[in-house]
Structure formats: structure tokens, C-alpha cells
A and B are shown apart, each in its own frame.
Chain A
Amino acid sequence: MNYYVETILVYAGVDIIACLALNLQFGVSGIVNFSFIVFQAAGAYTAAVLSMPPDTASGMSFQHYVLGLQLPFPIPWLGGALVGGLLAIPVGVLLLRRLRSDYQAIALLVLSVIVNTVITNYRPLFNGAAGLSVIPPPLSERIDPYTATYQYLYVGITFVCCLLVLFVANRIVNSPYGRTLRAMREHELAASALGKNLVALKLTVFVVGGIIAGLSGAILVGFISYWAPITWLYPETIVLFAAIIVGGRGNNLGAILGGLLVPLGFEEITRFIPTGFGPPGLGPAIQWVAIGLLIIGFLWFRPKGVLPEPRRVFNEAGIEESPFMEVRAS
């Protein structure tokens, strides 16, 4: 497997995991989590500092960071997922509790920008703007990361994580709990008038999403060995939103499809622009205009996405027919 293919596969896995998490929050529950990327970053930073040696160790003196516990795999990944989930609690309690949903979205957007600003300017925590580098890849003490075996292994672990997250997401979406989340998305007031505790519902789904986002960050940072504020600017969240909107809000398969197409397409689009063509900012400009047009175009022409949320039909015995049978457009 060449490095390019490996990179594509790992990125695709990370994006799919992130999209499944965001789909639970945005697609299923209607929580517009504009600070999603912060939770991915929390997982990445945590996994990094749990696996790195202390910053006093030789060769690390060029950067400053907390912890540096050199813990073996998979503890850093579990730690990343845990911190992603823990971070969701205060954020959820503060911002999801009383605000109207559009203000929640704005508050979360602002949070995303601000957390990035703080991490950029405060060096002792995660080395500020320069970020963390030379993060040891998981299991690198046992297997040489530059071998083909390791590449297969990393892609394999990523794939297993994808399946695990899909399993969890499917259980949630296809359960009565998921149905209540969808009801909350459709009409919050009516849901609360029917005995639904909106705060608890939002908090649980926020935490679950945070855990999965944290895991995605841990997988990514183990692969690229580098993490800095510039890798998790707030527009990264918008790319994931575009993926969900294109793939189909509320549909896990849609989230996977969007996660495969949009973020990867976004990264790859610049490959097709001949180098030296146009001003230096042209590549990113085309990327962002494409993302913006995707979002606006889909919201206008096909708001339910390529794979719309399936309609749930119950058979005579009172059992819901498998939604996978009905992925057709409605």
C-alpha cells in the first residue's frame, strides 16, 4: 500500500467517524454544533500528551506541554474519547440549557473561535500556535511505523473503529431513544409537553457525540503525528456540516457517504488546479466556495440529501421494518 492510499483511507475513516457523531447531534437531534471540531481537537491533544514523553525529555525541549505520560496504546485513544465526552458536559450545561436553538448554534460557533484563540496564545498547555509535533504513533515501540505491516495495521484499526462507531450510531438512531431525539428536532416545545426532558436528551447526545469526536481526533493525531491550532479552525466544522447535508441528515449511511465524498473531495480538489495558475490564495478560495455552494445548493434543491432519512414503517407484528430496505429517495 503506498503512503498516499494509506493517507486517504485513514482520513476517510476519521471523517466517517466524525460525520457519524455530528449526524447524531445535527442530523438526528437538530443540535447545530458549530464547535464540533473543538471536541475532535480535545481528543487529539489528549491522545498526544498521553502518548508523548514529558516535555523535559531529551529532544522535546523545543515544545512545552502538560502531562507527557508515555502511556501505551490504546490508553491515549481511550483518554481522547473520554476527554471529548467530558468536555461536552460543561459546554452542554452552559449553552444547551436555556438558549433557543439558533442562539445555541451561534454560541457554539463563538466558542469554537475562542477556544482556538486561547490555545493559540497560551503556550504551556499544548505549545500554543506552534502546536505539538513528533507525537509517537501508537504501537511504534513494537512495530516500525515505516513498514507496510504498520500501514495495514493502522488502516485496519481505523476501520474497526469505524465499524464500532457505526454500530453505536445505528443502535441509537434505530431505537426509541433515537425517535425521541428526532421528535425533539422536529418540535422542541411539543416534545417537552409530552414529558421529554430536553436538557437531559441534549446533554446525552452531546456527550456521546463528544466521545466519538474525541476518538476521531485521537486516530487522526496518531497518524499525522502533529496537532496545532491551525488544524482545527472553525471552518473545519463547516466541511463536516456540508458532508452531512450532502449525504442526508439523520441517515447514518448518508453520513458515511458524505464523510467519504465531501471532506476528501475538499482536500483533493486542489490537485486538479494546475500549479502556478492564478494568485496564491486561489486554491483555498475554490475549495471554500465549493463547500459553500454545496451547502447552499443542497439546502435549496435537495434539503434531505442524497440518502434521505428513511421513513419508518411497522409491520403487522408491530416490528419496524429494517430502515436499510428503504434508503430510496422519498
Chain B
Amino acid sequence: MDLYIAAFGFGLVSLSVIAIAAVGFTMQFGITNVINLAYSSVMISSVYVAYAFNHAGVSIWLALIAGAIFGAVFSFLLNRVLYTPFQRKGTSLLGMVIVSLATSLMIQNVLLAIAGPYNVSYVQPSGGTIRLGAIVLTVVQVLVIGIAVVLMLAIHALLTFTRLGKAMRATAANPTLARNCGIPTSRVIDVVWLITGALCGIAGVVAGMNSDTFAVGNGPGYLITIIAAAVLGGAGQPYGAMLGAVLIGEMTELSAAAISADYKEVVAFAVLVLVMVLRPQGLLAKRGALAAAG
């Protein structure tokens, strides 16, 4: 039993990392209509930007900020240089998926050439552990949970209380109508890529902080978990992604305790398939956005 309680504790950390990543991913899709398969490549690149700072002697917290800025700027450029031009050209959704996957491979392999295939880790203070019954977490892990909570509240506040958030929601619902109502949609979309890119960068760095070691090859694994969480909650829905992250995070950790850590992603995938088959619009979908045509 204690094994499972401990796993539940690790699940809290996992789900925090997934939530940060999945909210960014799902907002990109929901607001700008791009399924950005390069998301995980940007994420792992941010991990290594933070790693470079960290190993140059910078504290992990400052490196985290560097990773966030890198993720934001890189995502912004990715959209400006690649995705928006293709969208303006009238490229189909499927075409966009192919473009983003090709981009993902390029980024990942350039990073591989620069950073090498080795397993590495951050230099961070161990800071002792915190116990709560059978749950044992490091101080860093508790801080990761804290970061996720703060970010989720910030996203909630942004979407609910600010004019920018309302403009984002309007753009997501109907970009043409939003533009006609005087919302500068292309500026809104720029900001969305900056914000979601920052989330992507932060998610990467905290994922690196939460694992003993990481390598460039971790990217695809991140992507599957993120997609599973986003689709589970209803693609394009930030709150859905949070819910999806909670479920996926706990399920993967508990299954790792029950079966084997090798199959973490398989569990995520099984959930994904079940959702896609039984409730393709996701748990929290407002409209039948995911339902098939015909």
C-alpha cells in the first residue's frame, strides 16, 4: 500500500509538469489552430538551454527563467517564420501537422548534434526531503508543484479577468468574427505563442529538474504524454488539459508502481485511444470539435 501512496506522491509532481506543458500545447491548438508537434522539441531544447546556463554556474532557478525565455522566443519565431505563412497560404490542417512534425525532427536532430546523445542532469541543491505519511518528496519537487499551481492560477486569471484573455477566447471561437469586432487577432496570436512558449520552456526545465537524468531522446515521450492529457480533457481547452494532466500524471505513476516504469507511455496511450474511441470530443469539450465529419 505504501508503495502506491508513494507513487501517488510522485504522481503529484508528474501531473504538475504535464499540466504546465499540456496547457501550453492545448492553447496553441485552441487559439491558433496549429497542432504543434514541434512542441516537445522546443521543450527539450529549453531543457538544454537551461542546462548550458546551469553548468556555467548559474543557479537552476535563473536557468529556469532562461529556459522560459528561450521557449517563448523560439515558439514565437516558429509561428512567425513557419506556421503563420503556411496558414496564410491556405495549407490544410493535415498539411500543418506534416510541417510541424518535419520541424520537430529538424530541431531535435540539430539539438542532438549540439548536445550529444548523453544522459545529463542539472546541478541543483538537494535541499532535503519533505515527508507526509508514505509520500516522500524532495524540496525541489514540492517547489515544482508550487510553480505549477501558480502558473495554472495565472492562466485562469489571464483567461477570465483580462482583456487579453477575452480577446484570446474570442479569437479561439471565431477568428474572422473576432477580427471584425476590432480585436487585433494577429497580435493576440503573437502573444499566445510567447505565453505558451514560455509554458513549454518552463515545463521542460521542471521536467529536467524532476528527473535524475535526461537526454535529447526524451522528446517524443514528452509529446505522447502531452497529447494524451490534452486530448483526454478535450483538445484546445486549457481547463480540460489541467484535468487531463491530473489523470494522466497519476495513472502513469500508479501504473509504474503496479507494472513497470517502461510502460508509462503505453498507459498514457491506452487512455488516449480509449478516449478517442469512446468520447472523441474529450471530457470537457464544449462543442463537438473532435468529432469526425459525417
Q: Are any A and B Cβ atoms less than 8 Å apart in their complex?
A: yes
Which residue from A110, A191, A300 sits with its C-beta under 8 Å from B272?
A110
Cβ contact within 8 Å between B105 and A288: yes
Q: Which residues of B contact A282 (CB under 8 A)?
A: 113
Does B99 have its Cβ within 8 Å of any Cβ on chain A? yes
Q: Which residues of B contact A100 (CB under 8 A)?
A: 280, 290-293
Distance between A184 CB and nearest chain B CB, rounded to angstroms: 10
Q: Which residues of A contact B272 (CB under 8 A)?
A: 107, 110
Known: A102-B35, A285-B110. A95 touches B276 (CB 8 A): yes
Cβ contact within 8 Å between A188 and B106: no
Cβ contact within 8 Å between B89 and A300: yes
Does A99 have its Cβ within 8 Å of any Cβ on chain B? yes
Q: Which residues of A contact B96 (CB under 8 A)?
A: 102
Which residue from A98, A101, A111, A279 sits with its C-beta under 8 Å from B269?
A111
Q: Which residues of B contact A192 (CB under 8 A)?
A: 293-294
Size range of the chain A interface in the assembly: 35 or more
Q: Which 5 A-B pairs have the closest CB atoms?
A: A285-B113, A292-B106, A192-B294, A288-B109, A281-B113
Cβ contact within 8 Å between A238 and B102: yes
Which residue from B93, B109, B260, B277 sits with its C-beta under 8 Å from A98?
B277
Does B103 have its Cβ within 8 Å of any Cβ on chain A? yes
Known: A94-B273, A100-B290. A114 touches B224 (CB 8 A): yes
Q: List 27 A-B contacts (CB under 8 A).
A: A97-B277, A98-B276, A100-B291, A100-B293, A101-B93, A107-B272, A110-B224, A111-B269, A113-B221, A118-B266, A191-B294, A192-B293, A193-B294, A238-B101, A238-B105, A278-B113, A281-B117, A282-B113, A285-B113, A288-B106, A288-B109, A289-B106, A295-B98, A296-B82, A296-B102, A296-B103, A299-B86
Report how far A80 CA is from B80 CA in the complex, Å. 45
Q: List chain B positions with a Cβ less than 8 A from chain A.
A: 35, 37, 82, 85-86, 89, 91, 93-99, 101-103, 105-106, 108-110, 112-114, 116-117, 220-221, 223-224, 227-228, 231, 235, 260, 262-263, 265-266, 269, 272-273, 276-277, 280, 290-294
Within residues 269 to 324 of chain A, which ones have a CB less than 8 A from any CB in chain B? 278-282, 284-285, 287-289, 291-293, 295-296, 299-300, 303
Does A231 have its Cβ within 8 Å of any Cβ on chain B? no
Known: A281-B109, A289-B110. A106 touches B86 (CB 8 A): no
Known: A109-B101, A242-B102, A300-B86. 15 other contacts (CB 8 A): A99-B280, A101-B93, A101-B94, A106-B227, A107-B272, A111-B269, A113-B223, A121-B263, A188-B293, A241-B98, A281-B109, A282-B113, A284-B109, A287-B109, A292-B105
Cβ contact within 8 Å between B97 and A289: no
Does A34 have its Cβ within 8 Å of any Cβ on chain B? yes
**Chain A interface mostly:** helix
Within residues 58 to 115 of chain A, which ones have a CB less than 8 A from any CB in chain B? 94-95, 97-103, 105-107, 109-111, 113-114
Cβ contact within 8 Å between B105 and A98: no
Report how far A242 CA is from B102 CA in the complex, Å. 9
Cβ contact within 8 Å between A284 and B113: yes
Listed residue (A101, A117, A238) with the most chain B CB atoms within 10 angstroms of its CB = A117
Listed residue (A30, A107, A292) with the most chain B CB atoms within 10 angstroms of its CB = A292
